[in-house]
Amino acid sequence: MAACGSSTASSALASASKTQPTLVVYSAQGYDSSTVDAFHKATGIPVSLDDDSTGPLLTKIQAEASNPKWGLLWVDGDESFASMDTQGMLLKGWEPNVNFNSLGKALIPADKSYIPTGLTMAGTLVYNSSVVSNPPKTWSDLLSSSWKGQIGMNDPAVSGPTFPFVAGMMNYLGGVTQGEAYYSQLKANGLQVFQTNGDTLHALETGQIKLALIQSSAGIGAGIKAPGIKTVFLAPSTPIPSVIGIDGKMPPAVIAEAKKFVQFVLSPAGQKAMQSGDPTGDSLYWPVLTGTNPLSAVPSISSIQTQVVNPYQWGPQEGTINTWFTNNIVG
């Protein structure tokens, strides 16, 4: 279901001696189970995987603030990590010993409090070319009455890749007020809001909507399964990094294991697990490492006009913006 997670919590991999797992991974990545499995086989380190959508995972982390259970968080969107960093929740000052490419280097925060592992795009326009012959060319085109009731997107309070889309539009339009006005206009034009990439895609595939605003990996993956499904990158597109953060309050032994996990994810074996674990979903990302190429279905990133969105500006506003969106757009 792409980066929104599967909504199913699962435990993965106890060691042969049934040692109690010390590293707890909270993740909303479609390739997390395969990567955890590969890490366990490579290192013997037992891991407990809690796989869910990003919103519920972040809610759980906040609820556990005084007694955290997680050792490592792996979801899409660096805004959430910037917010956690400002709250003093993340391990600072460490990055793995790998060769980041220019995309990866640009995503590393100054205090090294979280680590990028890949990149997709937020809010790409996905449509069925057998139904739509002339898709919108600009963001303002979506407000046309010809698309009334025909546009769907995810709920940013649930879907990890959707808050970066909302924040990205606010950034592009000049601020929160302007962004609220835009989404209010979409709502007045019949915008439909679903929980995750999979739900919005289902609405597109069944004809409930004609245009879906979802994560690039989900759109490209849908096109692999049904070639009539096309993905368009309206300008500007907002990049969403997949990000790992380590709980800075964990015991040293757990932090050491978390560092080994990050190092593995960014190794050739880890990248292979990421790219094979969800080949029609989250695996369709742009790598952030030199020498690692994206899967063949992923277009050249140089063909996409993108914007830089400061996670430390928008991350602390995520709760407020999501609450506004829930009350005014979803409700």
Q: What is the pLDDT along the chain (331 residues), one digit of tens a residue?
A: 344 444 333 444 433 334 556 899 999 999 999 999 999 999 999 999 999 999 999 999 999 988 999 999 999 999 999 999 999 999 999 999 999 999 999 999 999 999 999 999 999 999 999 999 999 999 999 999 999 999 999 999 999 899 999 999 999 999 999 999 999 999 999 999 999 999 999 999 999 999 999 999 999 999 999 999 999 999 999 999 999 999 999 999 999 999 999 999 999 999 999 999 999 999 999 999 999 999 999 999 999 999 989 999 999 999 999 999 999 999 7
My answer on whether 294 and 316 are in the same domain is: no
Question: Distance between CA atoms of 45 and 52, rounded to whole angstroms?
Answer: 22
User: Token pair of 308, please?
Assistant: 């830089």
Q: Which residues contact 79 (CB under 8 A, 6 or more apart)?
A: 163, 164, 167, 309, 311, 314, 315, 318
My answer on whether 278 and 292 are in the same domain is: yes
Q: Which residues contact 236 (CB under 8 A, 6 or more apart)?
A: 168, 172, 305, 306, 307
DSSP string for residues in 102-124: HHHHHHS-TT---EEEEEEEESE
- In this structure, are residues 298 and 284 in contact, taking their beta carbons and an 8 Å threshold? yes
DSSP letter (8 states) at residue 44: -
User: Token pair of 116, please?
Assistant: 């990028």
Instruction: Please provide the distance, in angstroms rounded to a whole number, between the alpha carbons at the two ends of the chain.
Output: 24
My answer on whether 115 and 164 are in the same domain is: no
What are the start-end ranges of the H helices in the chain? 32-43, 54-63, 78-86, 102-107, 162-173, 176-188, 197-205, 216-225, 252-265, 268-277, 311-314, 318-325
Q: What is the pLDDT of residue 19?
A: 52
pTM listed for this prediction = 0.91
Domain of residue 27 covers 2-120+241-298
**303 domain-assigned:** no
**210 domain-assigned:** yes
Residue type, 129: S
My answer on whether 174 and 147 are in the same domain is: yes
My answer on whether 247 and 143 are in the same domain is: no
Q: How many residues does the chain have?
A: 331
My answer on whether 171 and 89 are in the same domain is: no
My answer on whether 48 and 148 are in the same domain is: no
Q: What is the pLDDT of residue 3?
A: 44
My answer on whether 278 and 185 are in the same domain is: no
Question: Which CATH number belongs to the domain containing residue 109 in this structure?
Answer: 3.40.190.10
My answer on whether 146 and 234 are in the same domain is: yes
My answer on whether 30 and 175 are in the same domain is: no
My answer on whether 110 and 15 are in the same domain is: yes
At 230 the three-state DSSP class reads strand
Q: What is the pLDDT of residue 42?
A: 97
- How many domains does the chain fold into? 2
Q: What is the pLDDT of residue 4?
A: 46
**304 domain-assigned:** no
